[in-house]
Amino acid sequence: MLSLYQIEVAYKRISKYINKTPLISSDKLDKLTKAKIVIKAECLQKTGSFKIRGAINMISQIASDKVVAPSSGNHAQGVAAAAKLFNKTATLVMPEDAPKSKILGVKFYDGKIVFYDRHKENRMEIAKEIAKKENSILIPPYDHKNIILGQGTLGYEAIKQMEEIMFTPDLVLCCCGGGGLISGVATALKSKWNNLNIHPIEPENWDDTKLSLLKNERQIIKNKKNSICDALLAETPGKLTFKINRKLLSKGISVSDSKALQAIHLAYAWLKLIPEPGGAVALAAALNESELIKNKNVLIIISGGNIDKEIFLNSLDTVLPKI
């Protein structure tokens, strides 16, 4: 198991390169949910998501001048940005249907993109082949100690911010794909508040962590269906991340694409934030789990904001809840 001390060391390593993203609140959201909510707005992070934290933490510690990473898009941007910071070249293995905003983000940081078909090809195998052929270092999207510690800096940062406003959380809602963010965040937060309930939030039909927690062993999603939450479509939890998460997490929660769209609209209208679908699932869960969060102090993590125009416009067609 990893420690808060290791996360604090990682934070000192990366803090000068990243944004200290704000904690924000909304009187409207509190009234609607009958809860006291603070939101960690990580969609305002450099590259538009938390992924740059883990990427910098790992890449800053390697000697090789070449890295390769498989990614749905946010990790790719984080790796490309981190590689550029430390004068390394980055090759990113991304799906052909990745959001345009994520592709453009990688190109901005001079990353070389190798596209693959997410329905027929295995991105990790492609990345491993490139690493072998080009003698480069593979930067995995979540299942690595240095990636998890880097993502855990979000939790460390949130602890300091909640202490400043004297906010003690009862529960946390955090998105979950492969489990890198939530395992790092849970490690940090549970070291401060041991009885804290931390719930992984996943898209419907991609709730592998929810199922794995119920079975107490890693499960694989076999009936893959389309989802707009492209950042969270891991078919099984990571080995290391699940080893951590099975000890630290409470029950999993899944949300539909339509609820994610509604959460995007609400974030825009009430919070003045524009999350991507995968970044909005924790907020969507808060809107749909009224009994779980009622009369509680809740930390919600909005993890990313790399959204394409079409999906954002679709979100504005959803109906906002009435207070």
Q: Could you list the active site residues? A: 51, 72
> d(Cα 131, Cα 285) in Å, to the nearest integer?
38
> d(Cα 167, Cα 19) in Å, to the nearest integer?
22
What does DSSP say about strands 23-24 and 36-41: parallel, antiparallel, or unpaired? antiparallel
**Residue 162 has which token pair?**
């909640």
> d(Cα 126, Cα 156) in Å, to the nearest integer?
34
R_g over Cα of the chain: 18
Q: What are φ and ψ of residue 124, in 5° steps?
A: -70, -40
Contacts of 35 (CB under 8 A, 6+ apart): 286, 293, 294, 295, 296, 297, 298
Which position has the token pair 């009187």?
27
Directed axis angle between helix 239-248 and helix 208-215, to 10°? 60
- CA 72, 74, 79, 84 torsion-angle sign: positive
